[in-house]
Amino acid sequence: MRTALCDTLGIEFPIVAFTHCRDVVVAVSKAGGFGVLGVVGTSPEQIEIELAWIDAHIGDHTYGVDVLIPSKYEGMDEMDPVRLEQRLRALVPAQHRAFAEKILADHCVPKLPGGEEVHELIGWTVPTATPQIEAALRHPKVRLIANALGTPPAEVIREIHGSGRLIAALSGSAKHARAHREAGVDIIVANGYEGGGHTGEVGSMVLWPEVIEAVAPTPVLAAGGIATGRQIAAALAMGAEGVWTGSLWLTVQEADVPPAQMALLLAATSRDTVRSRSWTGKPCRLLRSAWTEAWEAPDAPKPLGMPLQGMVVADAIARTRRYPDQATDVMMSPVGQIVGRLNAVRSVKEVMRGLVEEYLEAVERLQRLTSGPSE
C-alpha cells in the first residue's frame, strides 16, 4: 500500500487521520499513517500547548493541522477580529439564542459556572483563523495545513507555501476541486456525501473519480465513509493517492471522547445520522439527536448562515462537553454513516493493522479474479 503521497509526506501508508485528539495524531503517525489535528474552536494559546505535546511525543514523524475558513461567510469584508466579532454578534437574533437555551433547559443541561467565558468566534473566518495558522507554522514538525471548507484565501496559501509546507483542502464537488487546484492547493480531499461533518451532495463512489479526473495530476485523497481496507483498495483503484479518514478515530482507545458520547457512537447504526444546518449553518452530518430534531420543527427559527449559527451554538457545545452525562439527548456528534461499523473500541495500532491487512486481502482477491481460472 504505497503511493507517491507516502514519499511526499514521509509516511508508510497513505492513510490520513483527521481527529481533534492529540493522542490519536501521535498514535496514527507512529503506526505509519499521517495524523491531522483539527483546531477549529481552539485558541492559538491552546494550539501551542497541543502542538508542543505532539512534538514531544511523535518522534521523527510529521503531522498536519486542520483549520476552517469557508469561502463565503457573513462579514468577510472585515479583517479586524474584534470589530468582526462585535459586528457578527449584533447580527444574531435574540430569538435564536433563546431557542437554543430552551432546548438545553428542556433537557436539563446545566449552565456553565459563573464567570466562565464562551468564545464564539475562534476560527471560522480569515481574521480569527489566521492566528491559528500562525501558531501551527511555528512548529517545524507540522508538514501540512488543511482547510476543511472551501478554497483557502490566496494570502493564506502564500503564507503556508512560503513556510515550506503543503496545503490541502476538502471538496464536495469537481467544480470546487478545480477551484482548489487553480488556487495552488497541493492535495485535494474529495469528501463524499456519506462522510461526517460538512459534506456535499454527491456520494463517494461517484465523487471520487469525478474529482480525480477533474484535477489530475494534483493528488486526491478519498474521504467519506472509509473505515475498512476494502474501501481503501477501492479508492486507490479509482486513482486516489490515499484516503482521508475521520469518523473511524472517534471510537479508538486513544480518543478523548466522554464515555456517554462514546456509548452513543458505538450503539448508532448507519441510519442514525442526519445532515443538519443546526450546528454551523452549513449542511453537516451528525448523529440525530433532540438538538437536530428541535431545529427541524415547524416552529423553529431557520438556522443562520456561517458563522452566525456557530456563534449561537457555542454555549451549547461548551455545556454539553462539560456535562456529557446530563447532555446525551442533545449531544452534537459529527460523524459519518460509517458509524454503523464502529461498534467496538480498539487501539489505533489495531485499527491501522486491520486496515492494511484487509487492503492486502482485497488486492489479492482482485489479482485472483484477473489471473483466470485456477488449474
In tens, the pLDDT along 157-176 reads 999 999 999 999 999 999 99
Strands 284-287 and 197-198 come out as antiparallel
The answer to whether position 373 is within a domain reads: no
Residues with Cβ < 8 Å from 160, sequence gap 6 or more? 133, 137, 145, 152, 166, 167
The answer to whether position 375 is within a domain reads: no
Strand ranges across the sheet with 273-276: 197-198, 284-287, 273-276
Kindly report, residue by residue over 14-23, the tens digit of the pLDDT.
999 999 999 9
Kindly report, residue by residue over 102-147, the tens digit of the pLDDT.
999 999 999 999 877 788 888 888 989 999 999 999 999 999 999 9
Q: Which of 88, 157, 87, 139 is nearest to 307 (CA)?
A: 88
The domain total for the chain is 1
Give residue 287's pLDDT band: very low, low, confident or very high (50, 70, 90).
very high
Cα within 13 Å of Cα(164), Cβ side: 5
The answer to whether position 37 is within a domain reads: yes
Distance between CA atoms of residues 166 and 143, nearest Å: 6
Q: Where are the alpha helices (DSSP H) in 138-173?
A: 154-162
CATH number at residue 122: 3.20.20.70
The answer to whether position 181 is within a domain reads: yes
3-state percent breakdown (helix, strand, coil) of the chain, nearest 5: 45, 15, 40
Q: Is the pLDDT of residue 375 over 70?
A: no
Query: Span 188-205, mean pLDDT?
Result: 95
Q: 144 pairs with which residues across the strands?
A: 64, 166
Q: Which of 5, 219, 37, 221 is nearest to 139 (CA)?
A: 37
Segment (H or E) for 273: strand 273-276
This prediction's pTM: 0.94
Strands 242-245 and 15-19 come out as parallel
Q: Tell me which residue range forms the domain holding 113.
A: 4-368
Helix (H, G, I), strand (E, B) or coil at 318: helix
Kindly report, residue by residue over 216-272, the tens digit of the pLDDT.
999 999 999 899 999 999 999 999 999 999 999 999 999 999 999 999 999 999 999
Buried b (16+ CB within 10 A) or exposed e, 55-64: eeebeebbbb
**Max alpha carbon distance in the chain (Å)?**
77
Query: pLDDT value at position 183?
Result: 96
The answer to whether position 40 is within a domain reads: yes
Distance between CA atoms of residues 204 and 61, nearest Å: 30
**Residue entry with cell 480569515:** 126
